[in-house]
Amino acid sequence: MKQIVRSMWVVAAMLSSTTSARAAAEDTGAAATRALAVARAANLSGEIALGYAGGEVFDQAFGLADRERGRPHRSGARWLWASVTKQVTATLVMQQVEAGQIALDQPIRAYLPWFAGSSGDKVTIRHLLQHVSGLPNPNDTKPNAQDVQAFYTKTGAAIGDTARARGFCSGTPMAAPGAGFSYNNCDYLVLGAILEQVTGQSFAALVAERIAKPLGLRSLRMAADKAPRGGGAPIGYTTGGKRYPVINVATFGAAGALTGTARDLVRLDLALVQGKLLKDASRAILWSGDPKLGYEALGVWSFAAKLRGCVAPVALIERRGDVGGTQVRNVIAPALGRAIAVFTNDDSVDFGEVWQGKGLSFDLLSAAFCQAGG
């Protein structure tokens, strides 16, 4: 507990009033140019958006959205946000915590009295947010001939967050609550159901009303049921340059079905930095990484990393996603007032781990956040 409290103080410190001044010290356009050079050197195909609080967002596309037809990526295209959706879901949950409608340490059944699973009185909201619930995992369902789990091919009314909470996600648990980290989309599908229950609105309506409309994010919306590629413009590819198998992106719900532009994702990040969506205290909780869980916070990972060209370690808020052949790396540097979103339509790209001090993510973040990062 002391480690978590200390982490909250670190988050509060890195969100000081000096943010805008420090971010404006260097031209963000130059940083974007450096990051783009890194992407091109790595033969990355996709789009990068980079911005700072109170300033302009730069974005540029490169490579092919459709390899067979030679169709290039274009700036402002619709991308699958994949599990960055979880970042949005966690933000909506914290808004309800502020409103007094949700408490992080209350169990599922406090909000979904009909939840049938034996975990209903044991698994808390915090457990769900940090993937330590032990609930059944959709990734364990039987795959089809294309190696896609059955859970992600369903269509119709049965794929909604509340329907999933009533059905698959309330099945026999895989582990005891709090026993250990296990990444699981059911955690956020159940959170989506809880949000719908306490607000009386659909998850899609909440995103539109609480996130998209106040921030002017016109591209942000949920993937429609059975929409090809979830409505995303790029075609997703996998190992060997093969097209990613057909899935129904809408089945990911509050765990991974949001879509939108790279630019709007960075605008969302910067709105969080500027306190436009949550109060400082709530944001500090949201971004407090737990060392025992690999520095996972609530819906994101929060840690400090040494980057090339920065004198001191940089506090980072990271959210990554991978669905339908699309990968996204979304990273905020709150003390610098900066955020970067990197999308690629190739799920075979190895981004590496920032903390290892090498690899594509390390090079991109060094270029984006440090004076001599490139």
Active site residues: 83
d(CA 297, CA 4): 9
For 363, the 3-state DSSP assignment is: helix
> Longest Cα pair distance anywhere in the chain, in angstroms?
56
* Phi, psi for 304 (deg, rounded to 5): -105, 140
Residue 201: how many CB atoms within 10 A of its CB?
15
Task: Give the DSSP per-residue string, 328-349.
Answer: EEEEEEGGGTEEEEEEESBTT-
d(CA 96, CA 115): 20
Identify the bridge partners of residue 124 per DSSP, sorted by sequence position. Answer: 107
The secondary structure of the chain in percent helix, strand, coil, rounded to multiples of 5, reads 40, 20, 40
Measuring CA to CA, which residue among 105, 31, 20, 119 is closest to residue 368? 31
- The DSSP code for 124 is B
230 contacts: CB under 8 Å, gap ≥ 6: 80, 223, 224, 248, 249, 250, 257, 259, 323, 324
Classify residue 272 as left (phi > 0), alpha (psi -120 to 50) or beta: alpha
- The DSSP code for 309 is T
Task: Give the DSSP per-residue string, 165-217.
Answer: HHTGGGSS-SS-TTS-----HHHHHHHHHHHHHHHSS-HHHHIIIIIIHHHT-
Measuring CA to CA, which residue among 98, 90, 87 is closest to residue 125? 90
